[in-house]
Chains A and B, each alone.
Chain A
Amino acid sequence: MGIFSRSKQAQEQPNGASKGSSRREFLKTAATVGAGAAVGAPAVASAMDFDFESFMQKNFRELSDQELQAVIERLERKYSKQYDKQVDVSAIGPMDGVLYGYGLDISRCIGCRRCVYACVEENNLSRDPEIQWIRVLEFERSAALREIKLEDGNPYYDHEQVPAEGKFYIPIACQHCEDSPCSTVCPTGATWQEPDGIVVIDYNWCIGCRYCMASCPYGARHFNWGEPNLPAEDVNPDMHIIGNVPRSRGVVEKCTFCIQRVRKGRMPACHEACPVGARKFGNLLDPNSEIRYLLDHKRTFVLKAELETHPKFFYFWGTEGRS
């Protein structure tokens, strides 16, 4: 009979439970656990929108050409419907013999932030919660015998006109490091450097662990803490699948050098928006490009050079000027 038994002293329990009640207890507990699971599971599923194909989608680097085509078509259908526009999702690859580099003339930047907002529009950034891929830091010139550190920078300046008296400006976004710490630490391999030097993110593969954000020395990576808000009328329908497709909640995003533009020979949106020509862009492998000219003729520096991340974003002074 009893394959399960208790020793004599244990049977005298304070609440005098009998053998018959053990089965009742068992059923009671089992029922509670079952009820909890029955309530919990649909609640959890409802909290997350479930799209099966998107769930099963492989890492971008592993998709076959047919699979990639299917993904593109699915995304175009989805976003065209969602934003009531004809959306075009490209997966255009890198050109051979190209390594993108960026230059920034800090003698010219006036801190007007037009680049910031051009980027927001071009790359379908969330408006609320606000995400901005470019951050402009304002520094006080002449720190009276003390060195200027990044801590002295202020991104929240709010003047009526810029440049403000005695200040200079350094815009910072992803530096597309040749030896990027972010791609090294990503546990799922969701971020990597493309052959043309752009560090990209597969937004569908990112699990949102934010290890990359902890590793980025430039504060260039941004997280979708809440549901991104992108009004339909503001959507840029020319998208690239690892560029400016709308992102979901819970993934990391960052500047992609406007991959959807530059791979077609166009300039990044920030470059076009700058009213004073502080931004330079081009192919580092082309000796006749403007980026190579400034590397050859100007004194350039990179941020946090001691970390040996080898950024491809070069700061320089174009002029002595009034700045």
Chain B
Amino acid sequence: MHNLRVFAHFIRGSFLAVARGSNGYYIWLLALGILIAFGASAYHNQLTHGLITSHMRDQVSWGFYIGNFAFLVGVAAAAVVLVVPAYVYNWGPIRDVVLIGELLSVAAIIMCMLFVTVDLGRPEFVWHLMPIVGTPNFPHSLLTWDILVLNLYFLLNWFVVTYILFTAFKGHKYNPRIVLPIIFLSIPFAIGIHTVTAFLFMGLKTRAFWHTALLAPRFIAGAFCSGPALIFLIFRVLQKFGRMQISEAALFKIGELLAYAMALNLFFVATEVFTEFYAPTSHTIHAYFQWFGLHGDASIAVYTWAALGCNVLALIIFMVPKFRLNLLVLTAGCVLSFSGIYIEKGMGLLLPGFTPDSLGEVYVYTPSLNEVLVGIGIWAIGALLFTWMARVAIAITKGELRLQRS
């Protein structure tokens, strides 16, 4: 009972921590609020008229929403990659900031769930998927697996974060016997959620572009390029605006990790290109569309080459010590890496899978304004949730938000 009262104070304190801040903070909230309002309005438009407000059609039945979903699952998984050096190798400089990574995971998973929800034709019937009340086609359908593991992963991260912050709020140290097993569990879980998401695509034998064993390793490699890059950028922002102390050693370590990840990712790209173009089959037409376009429309190809450029540039920055150890250049490298993977794993994954479609038709899909607005709205929601959680976390770790016994 006592704990419940204390938890209520924790909630209240958290609420106050996010309700007050500098002018810059309010402007940030306002900007996000505007984007969310646009997104909500666009989603209302979609609910009113149907998914016809998107540019998805029978020929390309998944697009912008699922592309973002696939990318964000990677971000959620890779946020936990920092956990490995922090706890397994007991590396102090990263231990201090691993909590931010967990918070990013939570925000990313929420964004994933939102992206899937807005993609549904009848979201009000999503209860059909749930056990007991619905009839989930488990274990045959990979989507049911995905929902299961994403929710479990979300709960794991949510529990760890809340527990650590709550105990710190109370002025105690968290009990490693509770936290560490869960953190250790979250490492294979992180790989697991992203592998299940990859299986979702790989399990479709009709989509030759995805029906490859390489997709799961590529997903992981891409995740490790984008997740830590985003964490790096967030750290920089928190250093500047969040009054957070982050050692340079931690930041440079992320840069080092990214070097390995990006090298691996580019290696996978090279193996894909070799397989498709050295010994072409009728399936190569999807890769051809990805790199060169089809039927006079090369818009996707521009993005593919741009992504490659970003990634190669990012690799150079991560690998060359002169660049990696320069915070400004490293920041640019992280922006490049994040953008490159966003293109590669978002639309760069979805579109070539569907173009040409099962009957060989080429419909070049680009997201509609409505889709993009909904997507921006969801990213803004994620940013908002992350901002609020980070504010609470920072306030607690800095000792500003504490339970006071009178």
| Direct A–B contact in complex, judged by CB atoms less than 8 Å apart | yes
Q: A residues touching B (Cβ–Cβ < 8 Å)?
A: 1-7, 10, 13-15, 17, 22, 25-26, 28-29, 40, 43-44, 47-48, 55, 59, 61-62, 129, 135, 137, 149-153, 155, 172, 181, 184-190, 205-211, 213-219, 221-227, 248-252, 304, 307
Structural contact, A187 and B147, CB atoms closer than 8 A: yes
Residues on B close to A: CB < 8 A?
9, 12-13, 15-16, 19-20, 22-23, 40, 44, 47-52, 54, 56-59, 61-62, 116, 119-126, 128-129, 134-137, 140-144, 147, 200, 203-207, 282, 285, 353-354, 356-362, 398-406
In the complex, what residue of chain B is closest to A21 when comparing beta carbons? B20
Min C-beta distance of B23 to chain A, whole Å: 7
Instruction: Verify B141–A187 contact, CB threshold 8 A.
Output: yes
Inter-chain pairs besides A4-B16, A219-B359, 6 sampled, C-beta below 8 Å: A151-B362, A188-B136, A206-B125, A209-B143, A227-B50, A250-B122
Q: Tally of A-B residue pairs with Cβ under 8 A?
A: 202
User: A47 CA to B47 CA in the complex, in Å?
Assistant: 6
Chain A hits for B51, CB < 8 A = 208, 223, 225-226, 250
Are the C-beta atoms of B58 and A209 separated by less than 8 Å? no
When distances are taken between beta carbons in the complex, the residues of chain B under 8 Å from A28 are 19
Known: A10-B400, A187-B144. A172 touches B44 (CB 8 A): no
The residue on A at minimum CB distance from B119 is A209
Shortest CB distance A14–B (Å): 6
| B399 neighbours in A (Cβ, 8 Å) | 7
A6/B358 in contact, CB under 8 A: no
Contact yes or no, A155 B16, CB < 8 A = no
Q: Say whether, besides A40-B40, A151-B360, A22 and B142 are in contact (CB < 8 Å).
A: no
Known A188-B134, A223-B61; contact A217-B142, beta-carbon cutoff 8 A: no
Please give me the residue from chain A that is nearest to B8 by CB atom: A3
Cβ contacts under 8 Å, B58 to chain A = 213, 219, 221-223
Given contacts A47-B44, A47-B47, contact A189 B135 (CB under 8 A): yes
Of A2, A40, A223, most B-chain CB atoms within 10 Å: A223
Leading 7 A-B pairs by shortest Cβ distance: A208-B121, A250-B121, A151-B360, A226-B52, A150-B360, A187-B143, A47-B47
The reply to whether A215 and B204 form a contact with Cβ atoms under 8 Å apart is: yes
Question: In the complex, which residues of chain B have a beta carbon less than 8 angstroms from the beta carbon of A250?
Answer: 50-51, 120-122
B56: chain A residues at CB < 8 Å are 225
Looking across the interface, which residue of chain A has its beta carbon closest to that of B59? A219
Query: How many Å lie between the Cα of A53 and that of B126 in the bound state?
Result: 16
What is the CB-to-nearest-CB distance from B367 to chain A, in angstroms, rounded to a whole number?
14
The complex places the Cα of A220 from the Cα of B402 at a distance, in Å, of 60
CA distance A185 to B405 in the complex (A): 55
Interface majority SS (helix, strand, loop, mixed), chain A? loop
Complex A-B: 21 CB contacts under 8 Å: A4-B13, A4-B404, A25-B19, A29-B15, A44-B47, A151-B282, A184-B140, A185-B143, A188-B125, A189-B137, A208-B121, A209-B116, A210-B62, A211-B141, A215-B205, A219-B59, A221-B58, A222-B58, A225-B52, A227-B50, A251-B121
**Of the candidates B61, B125, B142, which one forms a contact with A185 in the assembled complex, judged by CB atoms under 8 Å apart?**
B142
With a 10 A CB-CB cut-off, give which of A10, A151, A172, A205 has the most chain B CB atoms. A151
Are B203 and A185 interface neighbours, CB within 8 A?
Answer: yes
Interchain CB contact (< 8 A) of B129 among A55, A184, A207: A207
Instruction: Give B206's nearest chain A residue, CB to CB.
Output: A217
Whether B206 lies near A216 (C-beta < 8 A) is: yes
Q: Check A26 against B402 for contact (C-beta < 8 Å).
A: no
Complex: A40 Cα to B56 Cα, angstroms? 26
Name the B residues within 8 Å of A251 (CB-CB): 121-122
In the assembled complex, which residues on chain A have CB atoms less than 8 Å from the CB atom of B401?
6
Q: Which of B19, B48, B57 contacts A225 (CB 8 A)?
A: B57
What is the CA–CA distance of A187 and B358 in the complex, to the nearest angstrom? Answer: 21
**Contact, CB under 8 Å: B16 / A210:** no
A6 in complex: contacting residue of B200, B204, B400, CB < 8 Å = B400
Bound complex: CA of A286 vs CA of B125, how far in Å? 41
User: Which residue of the partner chain, among B13, B121, B360, contacts A153 with CB atoms under 8 Å?
Assistant: B360
Q: Considering the complex, give the chain A residue whose CB is closest to the CB of B48.
A: A47
**Which B residues are CB-close (under 8 A) to A59?**
128, 134-135
Which residues of the partner chain B approach A1 to less than 8 Å between Cβ atoms?
A: 406
Question: How far is it, in angstroms, between the C-alpha of A214 and the C-alpha of B206 when the chains are bound?
Answer: 8
Q: For the complex, what is the distance from the CA of A5 to the CA of B401, rounded to whole Å?
A: 7
Q: Given the known A-B contacts A4-B16, A44-B44, A205-B128, are A216 and B120 also in contact in the complex, defined by CB atoms under 8 Å?
A: no
Q: Give the docked Cα–Cα distance between A260 and B205 (Å).
A: 31
With a cutoff of 8 Å between Cβ atoms, the chain B residues found around residue A189 in the complex are: 135-137
A209-B119, A225-B51 are known contacts. Are A7 and B360 too (CB-CB below 8 A)? no
- Interchain CA distance A301-B50 in the complex, whole Å: 39
B105 to chain A, nearest CB (A): 23
Smallest beta-carbon distance A321→chain B, Å: 26
Q: How far is the CA of A59 from the CA of B44 in the complex (A)?
A: 28
Q: A187-B144, A207-B121, A213-B61 are in contact. Are A7 and B126 (CB under 8 A)?
A: no
**Chain A contacts for B143, CB-based, 8 A:** 185, 187, 209, 211
Q: Determine the residue in chain B with the shortest Cβ distance to A304.
A: B206
Closest residue of chain A to B353, judged by CB?
A: A214
Expressed in whole angstroms, the Cα–Cα distance for A187 and B121 within the complex equals 14
What's the minimum C-beta distance from A265 to chain B, rounded to whole angstroms?
Answer: 32
A184-B137 Cα distance, complex, nearest whole Å: 8
Knowing A29-B19, A213-B58, say if A3 contacts B120 (CB, 8 Å): no
Contacts of A151 in B (CB 8 A): 282, 285, 356, 360-362
Instruction: For A219, give its contact among B13, B122, B358 (CB under 8 Å).
Output: B358
Contact B404 A2 (CB under 8 A): yes
Nearest A residue to B400, CB-CB: A10
Query: Distance (Å) between the CB of B202 and the closest chain A CB?
Result: 12
A207 close to B400 (CB less than 8 A): no
